[in-house]
Amino acid sequence: MSAIQLAALARTVEPQSMLRRFLALDAVVTGTNALAYLAFSGPLGRFLGVDATLLLALGAFLALYSAGVGLLAARRRPPALGVRAVVEANLAWSAVSLAALALWLTPSTPGAVWTVLQALAVAGFAVLQHLALRARQSSEA
């Protein structure tokens, strides 16, 4: 992805702002997902073909994770180590989601589609955050 495409996506050319925006977007999307899993675990579980207890546990985890990412995004200059941890966690989440789908989950068709789509979205956040961190580090050099 070119710097121009990244800047257009972030709606800024300032690497620091790009990074904070991609972290904040990750926190909002993850937090929304967490709230849906927590509030509607029964109906969502039936629709997705996944155990409601699993969705409750994932919702609680995602709520904590989104709060942490949100706190990182709120910092004037998010530390590189924290951003790298978020990038790696997002990549791990994507890989585990796809592995779970292939190895042990037996969701409904909408559940399988949802699992793949959310894994791709989370991997996309990881890529955007990594590129924004790299752009910030390049602008400081």
Global pTM exceeds 0.85: yes
Of 121, 114, 70, 113, which is closest to residue 94 (Cα–Cα)?
121
Tokens coding 129 = 């955050």
**Model pLDDT for residues 79-93, shown as the tens digit of each residue:** 999 999 999 999 999
Q: What is the pLDDT of residue 15?
A: 82
Distance CA 60, CA 28 (A): 15
pLDDT band per the 50, 70, 90 thresholds, residue 140: confident
The residue ranking higher by pLDDT, 8 or 26, is 26
